[in-house]
Structure 1
């Protein structure tokens, strides 16, 4: 079950990670039950496959909305996981910059400028996306496994093919 504000109370400047199934949506808590987030037009709570259409858009709008309107029925958590890597900026600076961006249309790219990049840039001054990095690592691992598999098949074909030739020539 998703946490409520009674279970887990975000502090101003905290990053909120919202689990949308096959990806995570990110927002910055700005106080009084509100978050600021960058959303493609098709990004909606519980949007599932429909929200995945965000990979096709080039622009997104910065919105200030109630946390519960953004979360919907999805799971969520406070995730300031890059605090170990970067010094968070002052909460006042995060909130001021977040509020100044509300209503602004920004360039969007699922791999280069997504909602996680946006949220991390507000909190740390660094536009970084761990889910993009992790997806890249998975693609690299799958690619490496495929190459190993092709190599094994080629080796087996060579060994068994050469064995067949030896039998044919005897």
Structure 2
């Protein structure tokens, strides 16, 4: 389907956890090989440039397991391999991680920012334990901040629409 855009080279192995740095949170995926990742995504058909996963996810209790090109998921954001719990939780065999990830592609899953998010999803695939550092004490602050930023954005759009409507009414009266 055409050429893939490239980020700086990162050594990737199947089963690696990929941490993607969005503006105010991290999105997580698991590398399954051949430039592809499996990740949990909100139910949105919007173009990637318009997606705000955190805001969309906050409005939904469902998400979908997707398999996409790593570069399409990362977009213009920074990312890294982050198998951060390997020392405390031995990873499952790579073949099992990849098989489980592939079997889930296309499935609808429960979603909750604090208990069933994309980080919980990939951690369970790699370690067999669903966990998320984004929703610890520090993580709850990040989630709250992301929701607040989304709310402020929606309020800003609403204010602009109301202002525009008021100006139109004023011009009609004149």
TM-score (norm 2): 0.71
The alignment status of 1:90 with 2:98, answered yes or no, reads no
Structure 2 segments unaligned to the other structure (5+ residues): 1-5, 144-174
Which residue in 2 is equivalent to 1:18? 20
Displacement, 1:48?
A: 6.7
Displacement, 1:136?
A: 3.6
Which residue in 1 is equivalent to 2:168? none
Structure 1 segments unaligned to the other structure (5+ residues): 140-170
Query: What is the aligned-residue RMSD (CA, Å)?
Result: 2.2
- Within a 5 Å distance, the mapping from 1:45-124 to structure 2 comes to 45=48, 47=50, 49=52, 51-124=54-127
Greater C-alpha radius of gyration: 1
Distance 1:46 1:84, change over 3 A: farther
| CA deviation map 1:5-25 (0-9, x unaligned) | x62121000000011111110
TM-score (norm 1): 0.73
Q: Which runs of 4+ in 1 moved over 3 A?
A: 42-51, 136-139
Q: Matched residue pairs, number?
A: 136
Displacement, 1:52?
A: 2.2
